[in-house]
Chain A
């Protein structure tokens, strides 16, 4: 027992080191060729003005965002999978990202004219984040209501997808009636980008992510009980109503904040918790939660590095890379020997 927990602690530390390494690697690689020592010098404020601009204004925020967004989306997925007892649950699969997107679209396409039209004035603030939380939370509540009635995993997933389609239809309608400037702001957002984020936005994202993760971490004990089923949880004293609301709030804050700033990030939320389970061989959320957060950061950093790698100054959208990593994992869950038999 003791030996096992030491091993797990070492694995977590290893994953953390890997994250730091990839963080550095992500800073070294970009569409502009730059030597390692130039990057370091720029980081410590002794580099050339041009290098400093690239590193401090583009590479550092992007790498920081990758860590925050990867951790937040993955933990959001983990919470949803446990809460809905559904291995294919995740913020993007179940329409939660779309819900957050609707919140953003509503703010960008309707509120922007009310304030200044300068880009970023609203995007930088908490307005967008709050709207994304509300949108994500609303979809969460709908999914919750559905899954309370429908025990079947497939039904809940299909309803999530229908919800996502319905929301994108509403957003299209809004785009149709909005003007060019608003549309441009919105379209840039939908591209799903880790790079277009300012420091105030990173601060907001960091605060929201920390808050979401902290809330999630206070729930590891009930999360472990929920794995045994709702009846068991209630008979050992878990207050289900309260627990559900706290978990949904945490998952909405995490997924909503990321979606607000980075656009809809595909497949990270559903795939990473499974990778963490596979790596650590445990269902204990005390381990699984930090493991999922770290693995999410690692995988999004890796995706970002890969998205730059094709060379020649071309950068492919990070969503493409996360999909290419995530889809095989989802396929493995569906086709695996346990299938979708309500198992983790």
Chain B
């Protein structure tokens, strides 16, 4: 049970679907995840992230190769044992009304309760602990349809936590959430790995949080999967290769993608501080790069309450009270 011990690994795994003939989504997957690690599975749509996760938790069979969870091959793990090793939060929406948050979380105790599902004292303690760890203890008696989407996601994570498994697998737990809830969920997942020694593997489209928070990234591309620390993948260029497109460029220093702009012309910027940074940003958005030698110049006049901008191009001077007006006017005169 010690941190750092390998809890999930795949050897030459081939994932896909077995219909009339097998459809391989991806093969030769050899991946690893350890206890106490937050693993982010990223990749573009259609690369097979869900298929990999579902194969990992035993919901669909591997076409070849093997999955080893907690030292035992998935083939050899009994259907009674597996729910005590790995829990799964899918993208399946909750289709229930009239059920209390606490009762949803209590269903996570399913593998441990008797035939009729009676909760023992130990089960209740585990449920309470899961509610507290996910920060929803105060909502325990609320009905699931009276809480926010972020809180619903926390309820499902708490249910997974109540299942008391070393490995927690989640398919896009931050989809459809607003920005603060997204960060909230990822920092919760991170806390679970740090404080409870869990291994959490989650798929996401939110590159920025994955790069900033995950210990390990499984990056799925059409060519295969690379794994490593986020910085490893930035350094060897595989992250940039996986997501770069004519519209996006990758910045190595801060690990973020940004739009590729058509650079139109240059402009000088005089000023300091937050206002100057935001001015540069607004100018960049409209295709102006700042250059101290440029003929045209934007000057900031910072008053005690408000900021004003002046554009000079040698002969003419124009004054603006907002960045919106400034940028709009610039674009008008240049077109």
Contacts and interface: CB of A to CB of B under 8 A. Distances in A.
Nearest to B95: A342
B98 A236 contact: no
Interface stretch (B104-112, B194-202, B305-313, B327-335): B104-112
A228 B108 CA distance: 10
Given A343-B95, A343-B96, A344-B97, A284 B103 contact: yes
B90 A231 contact: yes
Contact of A286 (B83, B92, B117): B117
Interface of B: 57-59, 79-80, 82-83, 86-88, 90, 92-99, 103-104, 107-108, 110-111, 113, 115-117, 124, 163
A20 interface: no
Nearest to A283: B99
Contacts of B115: 218, 221
A343 B108 CA distance: 21
Contact of B111 (A237, A239, A286, A342): A237
Given A228-B107, A338-B97, A343-B96, A235 B83 contact: yes
12 contacts: A224-B107, A227-B95, A231-B92, A236-B110, A237-B111, A238-B110, A283-B97, A283-B98, A283-B99, A341-B95, A342-B95, A344-B97
A227 B96 contact: yes
Nearest to B59: A234
Nearest to B104: A228
A284 B117 CA distance: 10
A53 to B, nearest CB: 45
A281 interface: yes
A220 B92 CA distance: 22
Between A218, A228, A238, A283, the greatest number of chain B beta carbons within 10 A of the residue's beta carbon is seen for: A228
A188 B93 CA distance: 47
B110 A283 contact: no
Contact of B94 (A221, A228, A234, A238): A228
B61 to A, nearest CB: 13
A327 to B, nearest CB: 22
User: Which 10 pairs from chain A and chain B are nearest by CB?
Assistant: A236-B110, A221-B117, A235-B88, A237-B83, A229-B92, A231-B90, A342-B95, A283-B99, A236-B83, A343-B97
A260 B312 CA distance: 93
B87 A344 contact: no
Contacts of A244: none
Given A218-B115, A221-B113, A283 B80 contact: no
A32 interface: no
Nearest to B82: A237
A10 interface: no
Contacts of A237: 79-80, 82-83, 110-111
Interface string A262-296: 00000000000000010001111010000000000
B92 A232 contact: yes
By CB atoms of chain B within 10 A, which of A85, A231, A232, A234 has the most?
A232
A75 interface: no
Interface in A187-223: 218, 220-221
Nearest to B79: A237
A68 interface: no
A283 B96 contact: yes
A225 interface: yes
A283 B101 CA distance: 12
A235 B59 contact: yes
A220 B115 CA distance: 8
B79 A235 contact: no
Interface string A89-121: 000000000000000000000000000000000
Contacts of B95: 85, 227, 229, 341-344
Given A236-B83, A237-B82, A281-B98, A286 B110 contact: no
